């Protein structure tokens, strides 16, 4: 599709050029509206709960641990996550914990320039296990699915929620006291706003068959579909897309605008490993290992020993 996308100027309408950049073989297989790329993992929290108990918002991981311990002592679930099948660690928490120490390591994983034996990755696994061990998550977290995890937060049973911003609008409706903070870093030398993780794989969207007798028409129709998709998000959902449709989005909440501003300003943007990098086998194994990690009894060394041989074949 690359020559049709370039000749039409469609590729120039994207704010993030990676979405319409060719694959390593020089070809472009699909086009998309860029609707997912603004979705990023945030640490949402109830302002009322933190104010009532006079808890400082954590800036570092150690401060996050301290806040979790305080909340647990007060009978409040510190952080709600989707634990079933290791969902939250799978989709963002492992990567979040890597980026909290060194965003470059997350980029190196994306580019197959390191593996899970990297010390920063091991530290990230240990940090997730530390959260489990201090009781940051609800009892039986490995059985908590998406809906119950959301309900735990919106009902006020949990003080914080680790979730992507695709839930931001719903959270403001159900819990108006909701706010978010950048994910706490390992120490204050790491800028929490300096790097951001985004959802959505570059090689996804509307495809045209390589065997079509009318490649130009197929490409035009794919670009039309992507544009209509973007218009739906811009107009109906009041959500931005990486594809610029010319629609000015109005009525954006203060919290959403802050999220978008911080996203745009972050100099380093790293795609989610889960959506952009893992093949099917790696995804399945990661799910199993992250579920085991959430028990608090599975070591990072065992995790790394199991996943590295599979990771070695991931990009093949």
The domain at 41-198+272-314 falls in which architecture? 3-Layer(aba) Sandwich (3.40)
Between the two ends of the chain, the Cα-to-Cα distance in Å is 23
Instruction: Please give the pLDDT value at position 238.
Output: 82
pLDDT in tens, 117-136: 999 999 999 999 999 999 99
225-248: buried (b, 16+ CB within 10 Å) or exposed (e) per residue? ebbebbbebbeeeebbbbbebeee
Three-state DSSP class for residue 35:
coil
Alpha carbons 197 and 173: distance in angstroms, whole number: 25
What is the pTM (predicted TM-score) of this model? 0.90
**Degrees to nearest 5, angle at CA 295 with 293 and 300:** 30
User: What is the pLDDT confidence band of residue 103, given thresholds at 50, 70 and 90?
Assistant: very high
Taking the C-alpha atoms of residue 233 and residue 163, their distance in angstroms, rounded to an integer, is: 20
pLDDT at 315 over 90: no
For residue 202, is pLDDT > 80?
A: no
CB 142 within 8 A of CB 84: yes
Q: Enumerate long-range contacts of 213-217, CB under 8 Å, 24 or more apart.
A: 215/4, 216/4
Give the number of other Cβ atoms within 10 Å of residue 266's Cβ: 20
Q: In sequence order, which ranges of 142-214 are alpha helices (DSSP H)?
A: 146-154, 168-174
- For residue 221, pLDDT over 80 is answered with yes
Domain map (residue ranges) of the chain: 2-37+200-264, 41-198+272-314
pLDDT in tens, 259-283: 999 999 999 999 999 988 999 999 9
Q: What percent of the chain has pLDDT over 90?
A: 85
Q: Do 86 and 286 form a contact (C-beta atoms < 8 A)?
A: yes
Q: Which of 61, 60, 78 is nearest to 69 (CA)?
A: 78
Residue 200: per-residue pLDDT: 81
- List pLDDT tens digits, range 2-41: 999 999 999 999 998 888 888 888 989 899 999 888 899 9
Provide the percentage of residues in the chain whose pLDDT is more than 70: 99
């Amino acid at each position: 599709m690359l020559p049709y996308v370039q000749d039409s100027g469609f590729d120039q309408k994207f704010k993030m050029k990676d979405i319409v950049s060719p694959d390593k073989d020089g070809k472009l297989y699909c086009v998309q509206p860029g609707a997912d790329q603004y979705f990023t993992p945030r640490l949402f929290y109830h302002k009322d709960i933190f104010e009532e108990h006079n808890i400082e918002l954590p800036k570092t991981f150690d401060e996050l641990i301290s806040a979790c311990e305080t909340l647990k002592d007060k009978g409040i679930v510190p952080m709600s996550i989707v634990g079933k099948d290791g969902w939250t660690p799978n989709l963002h928490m492992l990567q979040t914990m890597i980026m909290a120490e060194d965003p470059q390591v997350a980029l190196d994983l994306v580019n197959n320039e390191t593996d899970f034996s990297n010390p920063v990755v091991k530290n990230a696994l240990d940090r997730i296990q530390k959260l489990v061990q201090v009781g940051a998550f609800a009892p039986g977290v490995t059985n908590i699915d998406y809906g119950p995890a959301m309900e735990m937060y919106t009902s006020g049973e949990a003080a914080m929620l680790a979730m992507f911003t695709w839930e931001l609008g719903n959270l403001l409706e159900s819990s108006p006291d909701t706010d978010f903070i950048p994910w706490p870093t390992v120490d204050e030398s790491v800028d929490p706003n300096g790097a951001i993780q985004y959802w959505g794989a570059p090689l996804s969207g509307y495809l045209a068959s390589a065997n079509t007798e009318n490649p130009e028409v197929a490409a035009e129709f794919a670009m039309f579909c992507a544009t209509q998709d973007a218009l739906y998000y811009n107009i109906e959902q009041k959500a931005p897309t990486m594809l610029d449709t010319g629609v000015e989005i109005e009525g954006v909440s203060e919290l959403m605008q802050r999220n978008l501003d911080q996203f745009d300003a972050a100099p380093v943007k790293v795609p989610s490993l889960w959506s952009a990098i893992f093949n099917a086998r790696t995804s399945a194994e990661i799910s199993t290992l992250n579920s085991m990690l959430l028990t608090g009894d599975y070591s990072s060394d065992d995790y790394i020993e199991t996943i590295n041989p599979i990771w070695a074949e991931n990009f093949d």
